[in-house]
Amino acid sequence: MTDHTLLPEETRQLIEEFVAALWLEEGLAHNTQIAYRTDLRLAAVQLARTEGVSLLSAGPEQLLRLLGARLGDGQSPRSVARLRSALKRFYAWLHRQQRIAQDPTTGLVAPRLPRALPGALSESDVERLLLAPDVTEPLGLRDRAMLELLYATGLRVSELIGLSFGQINLVQGVVRVTGKGNKERLVPVGDEALAWLGQYLQLARPVLLKRRESPLVFVTERGDGMTRQAFWYVIKRHAASAGLPRLPSPHTLRHAFATHLLNHGADLRVLQMLLGHSDLSTTQIYTHVATARLKALHAKHHPRG
């Protein structure tokens, strides 16, 4: 790694002044201050060595080569993106201070961050999770209904815990959800989830409410709605009792819903509608699942597969 102890004192002082200004103006977090200071010091030394310019006099092409060299050295796109952010804020500050005539980072493109597919449970893991709650108890029956509905519909956790009776049609087997961007969608519910939801509404919910009233479908023992944190605890507890190899997040069943649908033949457009994604590009994080399925089908059915 480049030794930032070789940094000229005037450059070091300039960076310190910038970091102090950010702290005063924006209350920059301590860890971010450290990261920006380190990034700028190392960038200054590298620019001096490879480009023969100071941090103060570097131009757009030199900064672009600096970012490219960092990627070429094997640094993660996220680390390089953080460096770009530090450089942009540093030069914007210099420009406001009238220490440079032009900001060299205008139009400086960030390295593209790869979009990681969230981890999804296998179908057998989901089955173990769904079987974990003790359905002889009201809370266990509620938890089973929530988990079944989440896996059957791919709802966001916020959508699940906020469900009201006006959003559920048990006869038609659909839920009406208003998701991000205030966009409404109808999501079908499978027979299994409908059966558990019906049992919960008939047997468990009245016991939990104790003659209180609530517009929400899923309630706690106090008769209140559930929070995201409370539902995360529910999932974590049942996953541990089911002996799952890793604890799922509240979003894991949504990702399992998407992955398993693709594995069984759904296409991305259908998945986009069910998940409530406004842009197909958001759904395309699951493309590699569909590709893997196509490869498996090709290998199985093609004469030279």
On whether the CB atoms of residues 3 and 45 are closer than 8 A, the answer is: yes
Q: Which of 84, 254, 255, 260 is an active site residue?
A: 254
Q: Which of 185, 236, 251, 293 is an active site residue?
A: 251
Which residue blocks in 98-172 are alpha helix, DSSP H? 123-131, 138-153, 157-161
Torsions phi, psi for 207 (to 5 deg) = -65, -40
| Kind plus residue range of the DSSP H or E element containing 295 | helix 287-301
The Cα-based distances of 57 to 48, 70, 93, 226, 268 in angstroms read 10, 20, 14, 56, 49
Pairing of strands 168-169, 184-188: unpaired
Q: Which of 180, 212, 228, 295 is an active site residue?
A: 180
**Nearest of 125, 119, 122 to residue 238 by alpha carbon:** 125
Q: Which of 142, 156, 205, 260 is an active site residue?
A: 156
- The answer to whether residue 277 is catalytic is yes
- The answer to whether residue 144 is catalytic is no
Q: Name the residue with tokens 């941090």.
A: 55
- The answer to whether residue 286 is catalytic is yes
- The answer to whether residue 142 is catalytic is no
- The answer to whether residue 254 is catalytic is yes
CA pair distance 99, 30, nearest whole angstrom? 26
**Nearest of 97, 179, 84, 189 to residue 145 by alpha carbon:** 189
- The answer to whether residue 236 is catalytic is no
CA pair distance 38, 86, nearest whole angstrom? 10
* Residues recognised as catalytic: 156, 180, 251, 254, 277, 286
